[in-house]
């Protein structure tokens, strides 16, 4: 029995080493093929599937935070010096600031965050994490996280004491993430909270718009205008 177990472990490690040299799309195709093909050796197939999923999913653990951050993606600015610079561009959120806001908001919905984490982790044992996070179910979790965040931010905005406490916690976390003393950074203030709140409130409508189609229509209109000046829209 020990020899069989040892031989199986060697096979699994051999496969793991081979898969490490493959790109992600190839590993994903291997997962799909394994999922579609009935295994001849159930125990070995189960271990191999776990290896494939481990490589696909990596060490990513903060699933609830990732779902929450998807709401900010259209306005997220990944700029390491952002926290130390002046005010950000209107309507944008720096990635370090977003991480700090999440750390502050998560305790206001601790049970929800824990539930989302558990559900995503459980599903990621059977399928690639990216597919879990792109599912309709994950979209519903993200919406619930958004709504609860909006409630917490509105509550803080309406209560100066809660607002001061939230800003202090966000600035402390931001300094930690930036690796700089808080006094060297432009402090987050109520205007930053208002920006985050406005973005979270507006994103469902933003996400429902087919921006790619609009961009294509705009490009076609520009081309028509260049070729046929008489077709250009009249300026207001």
Q: Where are the domains of the chain?
A: 1-58, 59-236
Bridge partner list, 85: none
pTM of the model: 0.75
170 neighbors 75 (Cβ within 8 angstroms) = no
In sequence order, what are the residues at sequence separation of 6 or more whose Cβ sits closer than 8 angstroms to the Cβ of residue 76?
A: 69, 92, 93, 94, 95, 98
The tens-digit pLDDT sequence of the chain (236 residues) is 455 565 656 777 777 777 777 888 888 888 888 888 766 656 767 787 788 888 878 877 889 999 999 999 989 988 765 565 566 778 889 999 999 999 999 999 999 999 999 999 999 888 899 899 999 999 999 999 999 999 999 999 999 999 999 999 999 999 999 888 877 888 999 999 999 999 999 998 877 665 555 555 555 555 445 444 444 444 43
């Amino acid at each position: 029995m020990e020899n069989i177990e040892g031989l199986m472990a060697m096979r699994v490690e051999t496969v793991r080493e081979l898969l490490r040299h493959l790109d992600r799309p190839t590993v994903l195709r291997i997962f799909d093929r394994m999922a579609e093909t009935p295994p001849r050796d159930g125990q070995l197939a189960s271990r191999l599937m776990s290896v494939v999923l481990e490589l696909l999913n990596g060490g990513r653990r903060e699933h609830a935070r990732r779902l929450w951050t998807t709401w900010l993606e259209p306005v997220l600015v990944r700029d390491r010096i952002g926290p130390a610079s002046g005010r950000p561009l209107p309507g944008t959120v720096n990635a370090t600031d977003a991480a700090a806001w999440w750390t502050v908001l998560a305790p206001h919905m601790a049970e929800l965050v824990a539930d989302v984490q558990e559900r995503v982790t459980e599903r990621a044992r059977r399928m690639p994490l990216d597919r879990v996070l792109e599912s309709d179910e994950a979209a519903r979790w993200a919406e619930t996280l958004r709504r609860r965040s909006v409630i917490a931010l509105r509550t803080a905005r309406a209560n100066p004491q809660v607002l001061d406490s939230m800003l202090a916690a966000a600035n402390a976390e931001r300094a930690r993430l930036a690796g700089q003393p808080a006094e060297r950074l432009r402090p987050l203030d109520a205007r930053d909270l208002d920006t985050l709140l406005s973005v979270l409130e507006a994103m469902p409508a933003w996400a429902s718009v087919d921006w790619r189609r609009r961009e294509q229509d705009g490009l076609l209109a520009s081309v028509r205008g260049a070729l046929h000046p008489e077709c250009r829209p009249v300026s207001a």
